[in-house]
Chains A and B, each alone.
Chain A
Amino acid sequence: MEIVSAQYVIDIFGNQDTIKATINGVECYVPINAGNEHYAEIMRQVEAGELTIQEAE
């Protein structure tokens, strides 16, 4: 799974519950939930030092 970018997203109510990521060349929104395959892979790559999740804008 190729993940080239990841950034937290805050909604207009201030909730931070998704990560905007580009996975296999497609931009998508990943829930912050360990049961989600994409989130698990993002965190694996973060822990391995291969990926950094950018703060929300």
Chain B
Amino acid sequence: MSNARELSQLPNQPGRKNLFYNGAMKVWQRTTSFSYGSGTQNGYLTADRWRTTRNNQSSITQAISTDAPDGFRYSFGLTVTTADASLGATEYEYISQRLEGYDIQHLKWGTSDAKPVTVSFWVKSSETGDFSVSLFAYTAGAATSYNIGTVVTINTADTWEYKTITFPGFQTATLAGNNEIALAFAFFTCAGSTYNATDNTSWDVYSAGRLAYGQTLNLNGTLNATFKVTGFQLEVGEVATEFEYVGIAEETNRCQRYYQTSWTRTIGGGQVVAGGYYEFDSIFLHTPMRDTPTITPIYVGAARFAAAAPTINNITINSFEAYAAPTTTGYGYLQYRFTAESEI
């Protein structure tokens, strides 16, 4: 038998089945705990790839937890530190993950062959009730967005429960196919009447009322309420299968396509010359990023340089340059760290 024929008889390569990043909540590059008060949030606060969006009068602490179901080390936890017992019509809070078009082509969404997907995860809440989960699909440039949702019931307080939801494939329109947002998943801890009153149980163009249809749980309304989740998996098909584990090195590297941090770096570090001369540092990022990142330099220490972070220029998905001018001549240095962010 030829090698080619032997190869042709091997089963298909399984590939990676879990479309989510950091589903087991193992990567926390920014911080492992963050507290926020009354008002809005719209960004990435703690666990990598999990985005917070809210308009609510409660205060929340979002943190890593070692309270997790068997087979998992960590969970993502929310604790209400100031309650918002009277939920306003336009108040809401949700955690989401956004996926780019490159990662979902095999779903064949936007065609008549669109494949169904199944989301599975573990949840443990101090409050029982129904919370909404939703999938979003986006055309190029997020010009049009669609969503579909359902409710998930917390049956028993303070108990890990395994949940699975199957959504039909999206057929209506061609979705973003490159590094733009193409698909997102969200779960809600509260949603006022503006956002929970329009049936979203089949795919349709997004409107505010479809955001969290059926949401009755108001976790944010109870002081010291807790909500923990882990083991998120999004896979092709109508059946939830065993969670796909990803090693910490690989998972960290995957997340660094969207966000990465540095060790302390040094500009100068020797004899420097003042008077209009610049000292440079050319930095290669750990892994190429989704798109040209925002660079945040963080001052650490300096001698013969101003006590300030360097100026950043020439940013690409692979690298950037940092530079600063010495203030006096002699042995000097400027130490700094940086973060690079290219989230969607």
Task: Give A residues with C-beta under 8 Å from B.
Answer: 1, 9, 11-12, 15, 17-18, 20, 23-24, 26-31, 33, 35-39
In the complex formed, the residue of A with least CB distance to B296 is A28
Contact A9 B291 (CB under 8 A): no
Contact with B293, one of A15, A24, A31 (Cβ below 8 angstroms): A31
* Known contacts A36-B292, A37-B344; A17/B314 CB under 8 A: yes
Q: Does any Cβ of A come within 8 Å of B309's Cβ?
A: yes
Contact with A38, one of B180, B294, B309, B314 (Cβ below 8 angstroms): B294
Contact with B312, one of A29, A33, A37 (Cβ below 8 angstroms): A29
Can you spell out 12 A-B residue pairs with CB atoms less than 8 angstroms apart? A1-B42, A1-B43, A9-B311, A17-B315, A18-B315, A23-B294, A28-B297, A31-B315, A33-B291, A35-B180, A36-B293, A37-B344
- Give residues 288-305 of B contacting A (CB, 8 Å): 290-297
Contact A28 B321 (CB under 8 A): no
Considering the chains assembled together, what is the distance between the CA atoms of A15 and B313 in angstroms? 8
Contact with A35, one of B291, B311, B313, B314 (Cβ below 8 angstroms): B291
Query: Smallest Cβ distance from B72 to chain A, in angstroms?
Result: 30
Q: Does any Cβ of A come within 8 Å of B179's Cβ?
A: yes
Considering the chains assembled together, what is the distance between the CA atoms of A26 and B291 in angstroms? 20
Q: How many residues belonging to B are interface residues under a CB distance threshold of 8 Å? A: 26
Contact B294 A31 (CB under 8 A): yes
Contact B292 A11 (CB under 8 A): no
Considering the chains assembled together, what is the distance between the CA atoms of A20 and B315 in angstroms? 12
Considering the chains assembled together, what is the distance between the CA atoms of A1 and B343 in angstroms? 14
* Known contacts A17-B314, A37-B343; A29/B296 CB under 8 A: yes
Contact A35 B294 (CB under 8 A): no
Contact A29 B294 (CB under 8 A): yes
Contact A30 B314 (CB under 8 A): no
Query: Smallest Cβ distance from A3 to chain B, in angstroms?
Result: 12
Contact A15 B294 (CB under 8 A): no
Q: Does any Cβ of A come within 8 Å of B278's Cβ?
A: yes
In the complex formed, the residue of B with least CB distance to A11 is B313
Considering the chains assembled together, what is the distance between the CA atoms of A45 and B45 in angstroms? 22
Smallest CB-CB A-B distances: 10 pairs:
A35-B291, A29-B312, A11-B313, A28-B296, A31-B292, A33-B292, A31-B315, A38-B294, A29-B295, A30-B294
Contact with A12, one of B42, B291, B320, B323 (Cβ below 8 angstroms): B323
With A9-B311, A27-B296, A35-B291 known, 17 other A-B pairs at CB within 8 A are A11-B311, A12-B323, A17-B314, A17-B315, A18-B313, A18-B315, A26-B296, A28-B296, A28-B297, A29-B294, A29-B297, A31-B293, A31-B315, A35-B290, A35-B292, A36-B342, A38-B294
* Known contacts A1-B43, A12-B323; A27/B292 CB under 8 A: no
Contact A17 B313 (CB under 8 A): yes
